[in-house]
Amino acid sequence: MKKILFGLIVSITISVNGQFLQSRLLKVNQSDVAKFEAAVEEKTKLYNSKEGQARYITFKILTGPYAQNYVRMQYADDLSEFDAIDKVGNDYWFKTTGKLHVSEGNRIFSRNAEATYSPEGAERVNHRRILYYKIKPGMEKDFWRYRTRLVEALEAANWPNRVSTLNCNSGCDGNWVMVRYHHKDFKNEYDDNSKIFPVVVEKYNELFGKNSYEDDSQRLQMSVDENRTRHHQRLPALSSSWN
């Protein structure tokens, strides 16, 4: 099965806000799912739930070639946090989950502040629609024009949920960006896209000129070699607290 690979983003015009994610794919036999999830929940409770401990987010993959497997991400405010090795927690992890999963890949992403939309007071939700873009060399300007302008249009339309954009900084292959749309569930995703996103398009054209949404979105599509869509579900019991 072909692996999903993400690439290095080089963009001098886009800044990040100091948030980093180190991501691994965890492949689990379906017969081991219950034992695996129980072990990850216990490990997270013991070693990733208190102040000063490493923080993790665990997602179940819902679609694509790795559906029904998992992604586990270590979250850090500063890149230097990845230097700290939790030997006790890691030993516990391998003792309890070592025979229940195969880990593939280790990629570091940084959150892109200018292309991320974070509405104040937004509800914390667990459903993710994720877009993976592989940008063509030299086409960054066309790509980022749409992604950064869209943030302003989302705000003008009062889009209810977070849209997080991540640059892939290490462990990558090509020129990849990950965009993560937060929703409550599939129904909420459909309702947002069918009822609210047309308002986003209207606001986009009001802000940047007639037909600008169509022109900019087409330029984005022309700026990428690949564009993939996947869905993930955050598993709260297997993740560190948001607090």
Confidence of residue 243 (pLDDT cuts 50, 70, 90): low
Cβ density class 133-163: b for 16+ within 10 Å, e for less: bbbeeebbebbbbbbbbbbebbeebebbbbb
Q: What angle do CA 91, 94, 95 make, to 5 degrees?
A: 80
Summarised one tens digit per residue, pLDDT across range 195-239 is 999 999 999 999 999 999 999 999 999 999 999 999 999 999 999
Q: Please tell me the predicted confidence (pLDDT) of residue 9.
A: 34
Let me know the angle formed at the C-alpha of 96 by 90 and 99, rounded to the nearest 5 degrees: 105
pTM: 0.89
> What is the distance between the alpha carbons of residues 137 and 225, in angstroms, rounded to a whole number?
10
pLDDT at 241: 86
pLDDT reading at 25 higher than 60: yes
Token pair of 88, please? 């006790």
Average pLDDT over residues 49-76: 96
Using a pLDDT cut of 70, give the percent of the chain over it. Answer: 92
Q: CA torsion sign, 39 to 94 to 87 to 166?
A: negative
pLDDT computed for residue 67 by the predictor: 97
pLDDT band, residue 14 (cuts 50/70/90): very low
Given a cut of 60, is residue 166 above it in pLDDT? yes
Q: How buried is residue 91: exposed, middle or buried, by Cβ count under 10 Å (0-12/13-18/19+)?
A: exposed
